[in-house]
Structure 1
Amino acid sequence: MKRDGLLILLDEFDVLENKRGLGSLIKSLSSKDVKFGVCGIGQDLNDLIEDHASVERLLEQGAIHVKQMPNPEAKNILDRAEELFEGEVRIDPQIKDEIVEISQGYPYFIQMFGKSCVSKASQLGLQTINRHVYNRVIDDIKSGIAFPTLESAYQRAVGKSEARQMLLHLLAEQPEEKTLFHEDVGRIFLKNVRKDAEEFDVNYLDQNLPRLLDKNYGGVIRRIPEGQGIYEFTNPVFRLYVNLRSI
């Protein structure tokens, strides 16, 4: 572009608990030669405008919603993995498609699933990730063996309550509602879960829900300030995991 400049990216901005003063800092340092890019999940960018109102204008002008990865690009992750293994590991084309489909455009989940497939193939003495390997990994996910970090979050959230476990699965399985501004951002409406909860004998929904929101137990879902009874999963990959895991 025939000019020099500096772009400062603040990645995983949502994990920063205290954002006080950052709005003013970004506003004062930004110029035609210095720009900031803030990356995060959810509503956290709103914290920036608390200490400098004019930052809101900058957010409106430059906010970008990152959609899920398209299937062809997601499949390239697995193609690239095969290249890096230099022929030592091969993935059946149909299995690639199923891994991409089950990952719903989240590259991190593709990486985790692919790594588990490679480990399982190695355990079985195979060089090809075929239907048998794929099914074994699915079985490990269902039983809580495949992904220890996600399973730990799962156990922490549900505790010893079967009703809360069922509620978590009902929330994860609910079709994602579309929003006016970002059509790909999912919302969970609690009113849509109540009927199913009654059918599965989750009679004390309002008593079981708070632990799923409590940060002391992982805070796997959070309220959306757009209206009463609207929630979303803090980590969309965790939602995928819950949908795959057996009760």
Structure 2
Amino acid sequence: MDKAEGFPYFVHLLGREAMLMAFELGQKTIDAKIVSSLSEKIANGRLRTIYENIYHAAVKNSPQRELLLKTFSEIEEDEMYTENVYRLVKELGITNPSQLMKELTAPEKGAPVLMKIREKYYRFSDPVFKTYARLRNWKY
């Protein structure tokens, strides 16, 4: 599955949930309709996973923080240069993205979503969460 981006977690999650859904529907096979339905549940945050909880904790009630998080998740590289991300989100109306980073990187608020690698470079503390954030539709 391409959406899994090489992470067995997503393949396992979809496989398990597809099997359960097929059983509930009385089907003996898993078809594209079931897989599509499950992908939509993940995107809309309606499939309970640990990553949904992390997503809500990171975003909280801030559309701006969600925009920043989703922008980081779209960067292909593992190590992400903040100046490039900041430039993109400033074009979308966020005036001070560095202030929003505190919530995404502060260990005292739980596990940080982003970790500083070196000056102005960050990476997701959990690369699977990066994929989840990319797949997840907007909360706001």
Question: Aligned Cα RMSD in Å?
Answer: 1.4
How many residues end up aligned between the 2 structures? 137
Runs of 4+ in 1 over 3 A off after TM superposition: none
Structure 1: distance between partners of 2:13 and 2:90? 35
Residue of structure 1 equivalent to 2:106 = 214
Report the secondary structure of 1:207's partner residue.
helix
TM-score norm. by structure 2 comes to 0.90
Is 1:224 matched up with 2:117? Answer: yes
**Which whole-Å deviations, capped at 9, do the CAs of 1:155-179 have from their partners, x for residues lacking one?**
0011100000111000000121xxx
Cα contact 2:14–2:35 (8 A) shared by 1:
no
Is 1:111 matched up with 2:111? Answer: no
Cα contact 1:187–1:232 (8 A) shared by 2:
yes
Structure 1 letter corresponding to 2:132: Y
Residue of structure 2 equivalent to 1:17 = none
**Which whole-Å deviations, capped at 9, do the CAs of 1:85-135 have from their partners, x for residues lacking one?**
xxxxxxxxxxxxxx2x21122222221221122222223322222110011
User: Given the alignment, which residue of 170, 176, 185 partners 2:71?
Assistant: 170
Residue of structure 2 equivalent to 1:147 = 48
Report the secondary structure of 2:26's partner residue.
coil
Identity among equivalent pairs (%):
27
Q: Could you tell me how far 1:138 is from its partner in structure 2?
A: 1.1
**Structure with greater proportional helix content:** 2
**Relative to 1, partners in 2 of residues 1:122 and 1:202: Cα closer, same or farther, differing over 3 Å?**
farther
Structure 2 letter corresponding to 1:244: L
Structure 1: distance between partners of 2:113 and 2:9? 17
Structure 1: distance between partners of 2:90 and 2:38? 32
Structure 2: distance between partners of 1:116 and 1:200? 36
Structure 1: distance between partners of 2:114 and 2:28? 39
User: Given the alignment, which residue of 183, 189, 194 partners 2:81?
Assistant: 189
**Which whole-Å deviations, capped at 9, do the CAs of 1:177-197 have from their partners, x for residues lacking one?**
xxxxxxxxx111111112220
Structure 1 unmatched ranges of 5 or more = 1-98, 177-185
Residue of structure 1 equivalent to 2:93 = 201
User: Whose RCO is larger (CA < 8 A, sep 6+)?
Assistant: 2
Cα contact 1:157–1:220 (8 A) shared by 2:
yes
Structure 2: distance between partners of 1:202 and 1:127? 50
Bigger radius of gyration: 1
**Which whole-Å deviations, capped at 9, do the CAs of 1:3-61 have from their partners, x for residues lacking one?**
xxxxxxxxxxxxxxxxxxxxxxxxxxxxxxxxxxxxxxxxxxxxxxxxxxxxxxxxxxx
Residue of structure 1 equivalent to 2:58 = 157
Structure 1: distance between partners of 2:16 and 2:123? 28
TM-score norm. by structure 1 comes to 0.53
Structure 2 unmatched ranges of 5 or more = none
Structure 2: distance between partners of 1:172 and 1:148? 18
Cα contact 2:81–2:122 (8 A) shared by 1:
yes
